């Protein structure tokens, strides 16, 4: 089986995505790159029924490399992110607050310093039909200089150099979206300066416990 470990990882994170309410029903999709191959979730499959065998493997052009289920309808967006960034994993979600804000704002502003995890204020990409090359192009254009994007009237996408990092960014993106939504109910939120976001980004680079022999 090609990319066995990556397939197992995708199944685990799909279950987490559902539990963390980052998606609803069978919406959303996740992928991991390994060399010239990409492991990606199948189209329209219930997350609770996923097994490593049901995960699809495609090449960098989006062509399936072995028989199996139909890969996600968002293959064009995933492959575009891999072509235009250093991504090793991509997480596409339909969370409530990011999706709600996508219908009313052009950008998630720096309302909390954790937007530094996304590279700064998160842009909203113009709407395009799901699964289309236009959506893929809009996504990577709005993602320039960022690790995530909100998709107008749709959802959100994040990436990282590991699935854990891409997923964490999705979690924080939704959390900041919820914070901004709730702050707007009370009034006009105070926003942080971009130089403060840059300072936080630098601090986050060394955040966490140091482990001997590990950078």
**Active site residue ranges:** 74
Measured between alpha carbons, how far is 39 from 54 in angstroms, rounded to an integer? 10
**Burial profile 183-206: b = 16 or more Cβ within 10 angstroms, e = fewer:** eeeeeeeeebeeeebeebbeeeee
Nearest CA to 166 among 2, 6, 4? 6
Q: Which two tokens stand for residue 34?
A: 């390994």
């Amino acid at each position: 089986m090609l990319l066995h470990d990556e397939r197992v990882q995708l199944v685990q994170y799909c279950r987490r995505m559902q539990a963390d309410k980052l998606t609803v029903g069978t919406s959303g999709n996740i992928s991991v790159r390994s060399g010239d191959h990409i492991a990606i979730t199948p189209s329209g499959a219930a997350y609770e029924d996923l097994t490593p065998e049901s995960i699809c493997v495609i090449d960098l052009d989006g062509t399936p490399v072995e028989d199996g289920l139909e890969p996600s309808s968002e293959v064009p967006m995933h492959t575009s992110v891999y072509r235009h960034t250093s991504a090793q994993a991509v997480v596409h979600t339909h969370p409530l607050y990011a999706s709600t804000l996508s219908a009313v704002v052009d950008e998630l502003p720096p309302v909390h310093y954790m937007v530094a995890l996304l590279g700064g204020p998160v842009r909203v990409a113009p709407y395009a039909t799901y699964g289309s090359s236009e959506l893929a192009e809009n996504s990577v254009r709005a993602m320039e200089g960022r690790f995530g994007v909100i998709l107008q009237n749709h959802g959100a996408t994040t990436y990282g150099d590991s699935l854990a990092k891409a997923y964490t960014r999705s979690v924080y993106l939704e959390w900041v979206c919820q914070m901004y939504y709730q702050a707007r109910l009370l009034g006009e939120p105070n926003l942080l300066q971009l130089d403060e976001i840059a300072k936080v980004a630098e601090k986050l680079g060394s955040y966490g416990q140091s482990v001997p022999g590990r950078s």
